[in-house]
Amino acid sequence: MNKPLDPATLSPAVTGERWRREYAEQIGDDRASENRSGIAIKALYTNDDWNASRYDADLGYPGQEPYTRGIYATMHRGRTWTQRQLIGLGTPAEYNARLRSLIEHGATAISLIPCNSVFRGYDMDEVDAELLGTCGVVVNSADHMDTCLDGVDIARMSCAMNDPSPFTLLAFLLAVAKRRGVPFASITGTSNQSDYLSHYVANHMFFRIALPGARRILADHIDFCTRNVPRWNPMSVVGQHMQQAGATPAQAMAFTLATALQNADDCVARGMDPKTFLPRFTFFFDISVSFFEEVAKFRAARRLWPRLLRERYGVDDPKSLRFKFHAQTSGVDLTRQQPLNNIARVTVQAMAGIFGGLQSLHTDAYDEVLSCPTEFGARIAVSTQNILREEAHLTDVIDPLGGSYYVETLTGQMEDEILRNLATVQDAGGMYAAVESGLVQRLIGESARRFQAKVESGEETIVGVNAYRVDETANDRPAVQGVDDDAVRGHLAAFAAWKAARSQVAVTKALDDLARAANAPRANVFEHVVVAAEAGCTHGEICATLRRELGFGHVQAMV
């Protein structure tokens, strides 16, 4: 007969002590571990770390403050997330063909990533032809945008454009809307990467305008859109660039929140009411493969953002307080070695973003570390999202990791770490001053080096790179997709002919007006960018005018 268990031996005090003893005996030489943000990770989390007595204060309900569990009542059970795969390669005609094929296959949103020449503020005839269309579509005019969107109903499709300052892609889109008789009020979408500070700090994909000019154009852009394109999101605050450049997840989040506050302050300073623009603020983040850390990062920030806004601007409408974000799986985590392993990495990254409660997701293609992604690679990336949603049923339950001792403890610790980094920036005078002085760039560089040192020492394992290596040759790697050089040459020739044929009078007048607006502090520069786009000015002409009038920008050389 079994002896009944003595309740005293089951008391947490007793079993806890026993577990600690057995753990110490069996683990031997325990490894110290910390996550990428530098938070020490324990072997076990219990209700000593977090317990349900804190439920109401820490968690609450989805769509309700403090929003830890999600910004909407239904979250992914309702409308899931938007699958927003970046596309952009080659010429506008090639882009249009790919876009129409995506729409036929069910895509409901448009994304456009322009060629690096566009990011950098040049027309195609100002740069090395070898670099055209290799990483994005070459869009230099309203006519090009018209071709990109030929046969596409822009009144019904949300258009996300990777459109850094001075937002000429939106200006071209508005010019196309005007031609087609579509009112601005029905244009929806986002100026992705409109955040000039992250460009200065991290990826330097800006058009070499000096910081004060970039700051002003962004505020003008937000003001213009708030008044004229009310369904457009003019502000996308970007943490992705900074984390890709080496910032830890907590740093990247802190610097992003600091950037958002800076941009909101700038809008307030020019007399805008926070209630008019905060609902149109969105965020864009990186998702690394550090699974629980990323989940905690997103949950912590979602809880933090409304608190910061209440304190600073006294707003309390849910539309302003909701922390809406798009996220992209981290390319830096992907390896050239055994590239198919990247599919596993992207899956884990995507899961972290989904459990983190994202609104929109781009999954990287496994082959992006080899070259610009192939269509084959991009298809697997989309399938990964579909599998997670419809086969693995990740969307059945809202915030399924909520209440986990570990996840809740880590969410609190990430929140503290984010606040600590945020204070560093605020103490330095806010994000603008901290970027101007190079502080943020230095902190990111140090983190990048610290991480690389861990990879070199083997402390941080990367499968196929510093562990589990196999011999590989070029034959083991999938084929990459090149650019159609003939198509690019044709695009160049057509551009030259079009430029010669357009009304030079109209172009000169629009550029003169733009220059005057740049020198009139109360004028809205972006309004004149839109007029210039309609008048047939090119992207390069608009950027050159603003560079000339508002000053040339430099990247700080810093090792």
Partner 1 sequence: MNIVPKVLVTKIGLDGHDRGSRVVAAHLRDAGMEVIYTPPWQAIDAVVKLAIEEDVDVIGISSLATDHRIVPKLLRALKEAGLDGVAVIVGGIVPDADEAMLIEAGVARVFHPGSSLDDIAEYIRSIVPALRRVRSIDWKEEADA
Least distance in Å: CB of 114 to partner 1? Answer: 11
- Compute the least distance from the CB of residue 208 to partner 1, in Å: 8
Least distance (Å) between residue 244 CB and partner 1: 7
With helix as H, strand as E and coil as C, how does 89-141 read? CECHHHHHHHHHHHHHCCCCEEEECECHHHHCCCCHHHCCHHHCCCCCECCCC
Letter string b/e over residues 185-220, b meaning 16 or more CB atoms within 10 A of that residue's CB? eebbbbbbbbbbbbbbbbbebbbbbebebbbbbbbb
What 3-state DSSP class applies to 556? Answer: coil
Least Cβ distance, residue 551 to partner 1 (angstroms) = 17
| Choice between 198 and 411, CB closer to partner 1 | 198
Residues that bind partner 1 (CB under 8 A): 116-117, 119-120, 122, 127-128, 130-131, 134-135, 199, 202-206, 208, 244-246, 332, 335-337, 369-372, 445, 448-449, 452, 456, 462, 464-466, 474, 477, 480, 554-559
Q: How far is the CB of 495 from partner 1 (least distance, A)?
A: 17
273/375 with CB nearer partner 1: 375
One-letter amino acid of 528? H
- The residue (of 60 and 464) whose beta carbon lies closer to partner 1 is 464
Cα–Cα distance measured from residue 559 to residue 547, given in angstroms and rounded to the nearest whole number: 27
Q: How far is the CB of 553 from partner 1 (least distance, A)?
A: 11
What HEC string does 44-90 produce?
CCCCCCCCHHHHHHHCCCCCCCCCCCCCCCCHHHHCCCEECCCCCCE
Residue placing its CB nearer to partner 1 in the complex, 469 or 516:
469
Q: Which helix (H) or strand (E) is 352 found in, with range? A: helix 341-355
Q: Are 454 and 460 in contact (CB under 8 A)?
A: yes
Both structure tokens of 464: 């196929």
Rounded to the nearest angstrom, the gap between the alpha carbon of residue 43 and the centroid of all alpha carbons in its chain is 32
Q: Minimum CB separation from partner 1 for residue 91, in Å?
A: 16
**Is residue 379 within 8 Å of 346, Cβ to Cβ?**
no
8 A C-beta contact, residue 542 and residue 532: yes
Residues pairing with 109 in the sheet: 158
CA 550 centroid distance within chain: 27
- 79 burial via Cβ count (<10 Å: 0-12, 13-18, 19+): exposed
Contact 288, 349 (CB under 8 A): yes
Nearest distance in Å: CB 245, partner 1:
5
Complex with partner 1: residue 333 or 399, whichever CB lies closer = 333
CA neighbours closer than 13 Å in the CB half-sphere of residue 259: 33
Minimum separation from the CB atom of position 549 to partner 1 (A): 21
Q: Are 401 and 355 in contact (CB under 8 A)?
A: yes
Pick the closer one to partner 1 by CB: 367 or 534.
Answer: 367
Q: Is the Cβ of residue 17 or residue 459 nearer to partner 1 in the bound state? A: 459
* Smallest gap from residue 115 Cβ to partner 1 (A): 8
Name the minimum Å distance from CB 523 to partner 1. Answer: 29
Please tell me the number of Cα atoms within 13 Å of 193 on its side-chain side: 28
Whole-number Cα distances in Å, 120 to 103, 137, 166, 208: 29, 13, 11, 7
Judge whether 116 and 88 are in contact, CB under 8 Å: no
Six token digits for residue 370: 């080899």
Pick between residue 159 and residue 372 the one whose CB is nearest to partner 1.
Answer: 372
Pair 421, 257: CB distance under 8 Å: no
Nearer to partner 1, 188 or 251 (CB): 251
Q: How far is the CB of 422 from partner 1 (least distance, A)?
A: 22
Residue number with CB closer to partner 1 (199 or 302): 199
CB 468 to partner 1: min, Å: 12
d(CA 115, CA 136): 4
In the complex with partner 1, which residue's Cβ is closer, 348 or 465? 465
Q: Of 137 and 149, which has the nearer Cβ to partner 1?
A: 137
Q: What are phi and psi of 36, to 5 degrees?
A: -65, -25
**CB closer to partner 1 out of 127 and 348:** 127
